[in-house]
Structure 1
Amino acid sequence: MPVDVAFALLREGRLVDAENVVVRELRAVTDKHGAGSPEWASAQCDLGNVLLNADQLDRAIECFRQAAGAPTRDYETQKDQLTYRMNLGMALRMAGRLDEAEAALREGARERLAFYGREHAGYAFGLEPLADLLLERGDVAQARQVVEEAVANFWRNGHARVATALALRAAVVHAGRTGEPLFVGLDQLPDTVVEELAGSVAARLDHGDPASKELLGALIDAVQTRLGPDHQTTLNTLSALANLSSDLGDQSGRVEAIERVLDTYDRQGRLEEAVMASLGLAMAQSEAGDGEAALRTYAAAHLRAERVGRPELLSQVLRNWGLALNESGHTGPAEQRLTEAVAQARRGADHETVGRASVALGLFLQHEGRLPEARRVLEEGLPLLGPAHPDALVGRSHLGAVLEGRTCGCGDMEETIAAAFHDFVITRLPGDLLERLGVTIEDGEFKLSVELRREPTPAELERLNGVFQSAHAEFRRSLQTPRYAG
């Protein structure tokens, strides 16, 4: 299926290629079945879903609106329309257009009630996103009423969707501050449903709100009681607690959560998972101000990685260890570890690992004043990374400084990101279309100036707009990404 190919490309970070796959499919379907046909509406929905996951919300909204406005012919096309309308409401909410989102979701719920009847699980599917929106808007009382109806419906029907509805209910009850238990009935649910519930709670946490820690703590207690302390779902919720603690500035809580996870992995003999947990622990210890503990943890992670024997994993440990040693002023051991990281990466089959290790070593060599060596390593590693990869952007910035003979300053990151944006667009358009493309960054936003050599065809204009949208989605993340530790 073209949409499956597109999502595989999205997972690889190839946003433009993913979009092109579904755009071609939409054109083919339109030529064969005509605009407004059920097949056309389905293809519009597929394109909307790809654009939604590529962070192109306005375009996704228009696709869902087109799909939801197509005429219906029979039971199946009416059912599809309900999905398109729900997608439209959810996309509007993601775009912050809450009034429009609420109108679309309420209309969708009414249509589902008329189509399915109150007792059918299909009706509850429309209640859940509406309750979520009401919670976001601060209408906790109405959100509670709607989500309770959704939970009761799914429970009565024995539908697995009860997991996400119970997760939403917990968030609503927590927001209401009634003192009621947040998680009820877990002993009556299959393990798989409890696992999905836990994942849904973790996915919806607000990492800027300290109250989220209370919600997550209640989940950990409930899951540990239901599944046991060493169950993977319990470990996943502890990992979520570590991430939440980090974002809330609670480094000691982060360290404690990771230590609990690492202890379980060690006892279970799960070496590779223990290595990754060790890397997280070392970073947490470093950010908590305990650099010596972090170095000991990196050394222990290296011993575990040697037992695993996978070059890519060894390279990752050595790279992070080398960066930490350099940060602590241990220059000689840092160079040794970073050089070993590149050597191990070359033994493996993952180009990105080689690229990341090379950038780390190149930055170290630059800061040590060894510019010819730094240039060679950076020029070798950078082509192995995608154009918007954070390490690639930092590496290009540093390479620019190296070429200017500078050992510090490391170039202008915004200038580097703008240049990468420019190259991303130029390489994806017909060579004779653009006369000039200017890209600058002002107040954290891309500013573009475009001059065309000729009048584009409608297809070229559509592609031009799509490439610009994709470039914005791809590189906007770079503007928000914390700068490289090296």
Structure 2
Amino acid sequence: MTAAPTPVDVAFALLREGRLVDAENVMTREVQAATVRHGAGSPAWASAQCDLGNVLLNADQLDRAVECFRQAASAPPRDHESHKDQLTYRLNLGMALRFADRLDEAERELRQGVRERLAFYGREHAGYAFGLEPLADLLLHRGNHAEARQVVEEAVQNLWSNGHERVASALALRAMIVHASDSTDPVFVGFPQLPDEVVEQIAHAVLQAVDHGEPASKDLVALLVAAVEERLGPDHQATLNALSVQANLGQDLGDQADRVEAIERVLASYDRQGRPEEAVMAALGLAMAQGDAGDPDAALRTYESAYARAERVGRPELQSQVLRNWGLALRDAGRSGPAEQRLTEAVTQARRGADHETVGRAGVALGLFLQHEERLPEARTVLEETLPLLGPAHPDAIVGRSHLGAVLEGRTCGCGDMAGTIAEAFREFVLTRLPADLLADLEVAIVDDDFKINVELRREPAEDELDRLNAVFQSAHAEFRRRLTEPRYTG
């Protein structure tokens, strides 16, 4: 019989669905229950605080996560096991401070954690190395390459000697430190001796940590691609993952030729392996890369071949996605007739499937096209019909609502009041997550690229309602703040 999911399992499942407030509420109730049953400062209370901190950390609520981990680490140990747990809580605190860019505090906590781990475990125990690795990462981030190298080498030696699986992440960090320090030493070591799964873990750890705004990342990922391909082969998923990140780096850093080459290698591999759905998605990426590289004719040919592939797969959602992107490319090429045909077909195919988001995205693309073609009544009909299929925080929904506002004002171009649309989406996000009788009024505006909020309560909230109110606003800020800085939708 399958075990019932724990509260933490439930919370992270909710996070994966984008239900940040609900996820937080699950763990907040666990903290309250632990307080009632065992008392504040108890091991059970500290554990619940840590779990809540992990949920907040994964919801980008960094400062609140820091306070949860700080609370957990403050609980005095009562036995050997609770002492081990406290070491974990302090490690989490240091890492959360690092993620929050509170680097001085992070370094103090991580160094203290290393000292405490040394005293508790001894130098040869893997538990000591667990504290060395995040300290080395912080030192790398702060540009202290010499000490970072010293610390990470000790972690690697420890974990290698213990045969511990976490040697993979330590070797990945060592590679990044060696590369950043411009050393002539090999960046990736030990690949011939390591099992396949450890090589995969090293590659994954490097790719997760790559800075997409740093030009030096291109060389690091190129070295990784070569090392993984030599060890695991050109069709191994780890190689393909590395090539995909190489393509993304090409896009982020403006090297479109590198991007195109990387995607072509991925596409060729999917064809060799007989993976048609993945090949369709790779072809879409290749077409967009070719367009960004200034070769629209090649992009349109690739879209045509991508649609032929999607037809063979036969999944309506996939066909709709290809048609939508193909239609947008035709529009950008000035071919309005074929563009409208593809965008209309995208909506038709999406409706054959079961995914509402695909219908909504196709509808927004067609609605914007019709608006720019000065066919405002048709644009309004399509947008009003398909926008409700997207959640208020969906980027296409925000852009679609802004354009619908322009349509209602009789304008054929322009995004309307984008800031006002984001503010209204923020307001809707909050109102749909609070008791209907709690707020008398909620005003949201954007001033100096941040949200200005005025709340008028209808009644005095209960303590749990006040906590929920604060949590909802925190989640709304986390969800919508990035919308203010995202590149504008061109669909």
TM range, smaller chain: over 0.9
> How many angstroms apart in 2 are the aligned matches of 1:380 and 1:32?
51
Q: Offset of 1:409 from its aligned partner?
A: 2.0
Amino acid across the alignment from 2:236: H
> How many angstroms apart in 1 are the aligned matches of 2:459 and 2:335?
58
Amino acid across the alignment from 2:158: N
Deviations 1:135-165, CA, capped at 9 Å, x for gaps: 1111111101100000011111111111110
Amino acid across the alignment from 2:301: R
Mapped pair 1:438 → 2:443:
yes
Mapped pair 1:66 → 2:68:
no
> How many angstroms apart in 2 are the aligned matches of 1:439 and 1:399?
20
State the match for 1:420 in structure 2: 425
Deviations 1:228-259, CA, capped at 9 Å, x for gaps: 12211111111110001111111111111111
Mapped pair 1:456 → 2:461:
yes
Mapped pair 1:275 → 2:280:
yes
Mapped pair 1:138 → 2:143:
yes
Which structure 1 segments of 5+ residues have no match?
A: none
> How many angstroms apart in 2 are the aligned matches of 1:372 and 1:29?
58
Counterparts of 1:115-194 in structure 2, within 5 Å, are 115-194=120-199
Q: Offset of 1:327 from its aligned partner?
A: 1.0
Give the secondary-structure state (helix, strand or coil) at the position aligned to 1:448.
strand
State the match for 1:480 in structure 2: 485
Mapped pair 1:203 → 2:208:
yes
Give the secondary-structure state (helix, strand or coil) at the position aligned to 2:192.
helix
State the match for 1:345 in structure 2: 350
State the match for 2:378 in structure 1: 373
State the match for 2:24 in structure 1: 19
Q: Offset of 1:270 from its aligned partner?
A: 1.1
Counterparts of 1:289-328 in structure 2, within 5 Å, are 289-328=294-333
Give the secondary-structure state (helix, strand or coil) at the position aligned to 2:112.
helix
8 Å contact 1:275–1:304 — kept in the other structure? yes
Give the secondary-structure state (helix, strand or coil) at the position aligned to 1:87.
helix
Please, which of 247, 250, 264 is the counterpart of residue 242 of structure 1?
Answer: 247
Percent of residue pairs identical: 76
State the match for 1:101 in structure 2: 106
Name whichever of 443-452 and 203-212 sits farther off: 443-452
Count of residues in correspondence between the two structures: 486
Which structure 2 segments of 5+ residues have no match?
A: 1-5
> How many angstroms apart in 2 are the aligned matches of 1:60 and 1:372?
48
Please, which of 338, 341, 359 is the counterpart of residue 336 of structure 1?
Answer: 341
> How many angstroms apart in 1 are the aligned matches of 2:237 and 2:317?
24
Amino acid across the alignment from 2:326: W
Amino acid across the alignment from 2:481: R
> How many angstroms apart in 2 are the aligned matches of 1:97 and 1:47?
20
Amino acid across the alignment from 1:16: V
Give the secondary-structure state (helix, strand or coil) at the position aligned to 1:435.
strand
TM-score by length of 2: 0.97
Name whichever of 454-463 and 297-306 sits farther off: 454-463
Q: Offset of 1:110 from its aligned partner?
A: 1.2
Mapped pair 1:7 → 2:3:
no
C-alpha root-mean-square deviation of aligned residues, in Å? 1.2
Please, which of 391, 397, 406 is the counterpart of residue 392 of structure 1?
Answer: 397
Deviations 1:44-100, CA, capped at 9 Å, x for gaps: 111111111111111111111111111222222111111111110001011111110
8 Å contact 1:15–1:474 — kept in the other structure? no
> How many angstroms apart in 1 are the aligned matches of 2:356 and 2:86?
44
Q: Offset of 1:284 from its aligned partner?
A: 0.7
Amino acid across the alignment from 1:299: E
Give the secondary-structure state (helix, strand or coil) at the position aligned to 1:292.
helix
8 Å contact 1:6–1:50 — kept in the other structure? yes
> How many angstroms apart in 2 are the aligned matches of 1:76 and 1:307?
57
> How many angstroms apart in 2 are the aligned matches of 1:150 and 1:76?
23
State the match for 1:285 in structure 2: 290
Give the secondary-structure state (helix, strand or coil) at the position aligned to 2:212.
coil
Name whichever of 304-313 and 9-18 sits farther off: 9-18
Q: Offset of 1:452 from its aligned partner?
A: 2.7
Q: Offset of 1:4 from its aligned partner?
A: 1.4
Give the secondary-structure state (helix, strand or coil) at the position aligned to 1:481.
coil
Please, which of 219, 222, 226 is the counterpart of residue 224 of structure 2?
Answer: 219
Deviations 1:263-283, CA, capped at 9 Å, x for gaps: 111122211111011111111
Deviations 1:342-400, CA, capped at 9 Å, x for gaps: 11111111111111111111111122222222222212211111111100100111111
Name whichever of 16-25 and 105-114 sits farther off: 16-25
